[in-house]
Amino acid sequence: MKMLAELKERVSLTVYKHATVARRNTTSRHIRNNAFWSCLLILTLISSSSLVNAQSFNKGGRTALQFLKIGIGARQAAMGEANIAAVEDINSVFWDPAGLTGVSGAQASFDFTPWIAGMNYFAGAAGFKVNEVGVFAVDYASLSYGNIPEALVSVSSGSNDTRTGNTFTGGDALIGLAYSHDFTDQLSIGIAAKYLKETLFTYSASTLAFDVGTVYDVGYKGIHVAMSAQNFAGAVKFMANSNNQAGYELPLIFRIGLSFGFIGSSENAFIDLGKLNSLIISADAVHTNDYTERLDIGGEYVFDDFLSLRAGYRFNYTEGNLSLGVGVKGAVSGLNIQVDYAYTRYTYLESPNRLSVLLNF
């Protein structure tokens, strides 16, 4: 009888422990789900408010610092800029800071693009992961206008410009800090702050702007959902002491992205072809305060974690709809290097070629 009583007590204790663990797991799932849907609701409300305010007027040509809309990273550009749910590396700092949680150890990237009309675009970022704390990153980008011929315009007629033989220059630049953290095994949230400056001849404008984003891993077939909101800031003026000049808003950008594994291993893709081949499909819905809604779609095929082939298409853009790209990975003296190239087709302007280098330490 004593042995039977002890057995009953052990069984009761085991059942109690399992029930306690089950309740904790259920509570944890509820917390994760509530956090995700709360973030989704907040960003949706912000986006909806911006959409309503933007529908009553023509939005073109009303924002400054247009260089903020130039996509950074050859990998991202080759995928038609549909990347916030698909790409989680150091270049996420320029798109969705939550994607920085994909950085393990330390990473650095450098991006160079001979831009249209003789302009040059350069960007770089570096970041590192602190275990259990999150990922910290710094980023920099600049657009140089090159030499612009100087001309004098008649104030009375507004025409009959006269070339002086001199030139002037201008450009844009940003420098920023970002932080991201895995709040659960599935939900990542990131924030970023950046100082922006635009210069033209003797005039300049500067401001501080903020980004926020999330990435949610559904946990099924590599499905990820991501959202980002960029360039929260006040109006900027090129003549700060002028009472007559109206301020210019920054290009406020909202993105909602979705990606999934089409080909790959069974746990990460819908079609199981093993780990040697993988294909990710992604799409981003884009809303800005100075243009109508757009859609970006893209894909990335990877063979043996060495060779990547990418393609993308952007809908409702005047230029730069189709994009293609390639990337290779390798190790040199223990340093893992990824080199990416992207081509974006332009019809009326020069088609830009992008080159990026990603270093994993």
Does residue 192 form part of some domain?
Answer: yes
Q: Does residue 51 lie in a domain region?
A: no
Q: Are the beta carbons of 346 and 318 closer than 8 angstroms? A: no
Residue 48 belongs to some domain of the structure: no
Decide if 353 contacts 123 (C-beta within 8 A). no
Whether 71 maps to a domain, the answer reads yes
Give the model's confidence band at 1: pLDDT under 50 very low, under 70 low, under 90 confident, else very high. very low
CB-side exposure of 314: number of CA atoms within 13 Å?
24
243-299 pLDDT per residue, tens: 556 678 899 999 999 999 999 988 889 998 888 999 999 999 999 998 889 999 999
Q: What is the pLDDT of residue 59?
A: 63
Higher pLDDT: 225 or 13? It is 225
Q: Could you tell me if 240 and 246 are in contact, meaning their C-beta atoms sit under 8 angstroms apart?
A: no
Look at the chain and report how many structural domains it folds into. Answer: 1
Q: Looking at the domain assignment, is residue 354 inside a domain?
A: yes
- Residue pair 280/263 in contact (Cβ under 8 Å)? The answer is no
Give yes or no for a contact between 62 and 308, defined as CB atoms under 8 angstroms apart.
Answer: no
pLDDT in tens, 41-85: 445 444 444 444 444 444 666 788 999 999 999 999 999 999 999
CATH of the domain at 302: 2.40.160.60
User: What is the domain range of residue 240?
Assistant: 57-360
Residue 288 in any domain: the answer is yes
**pTM of the predicted structure, to 2 decimals:** 0.80
> Per the domain annotation, does 318 fall within a domain?
yes
Contact 32, 26 (CB under 8 A): no
**Residue, of 242 and 197, whose pLDDT is higher:** 197
Within a domain: 120: yes
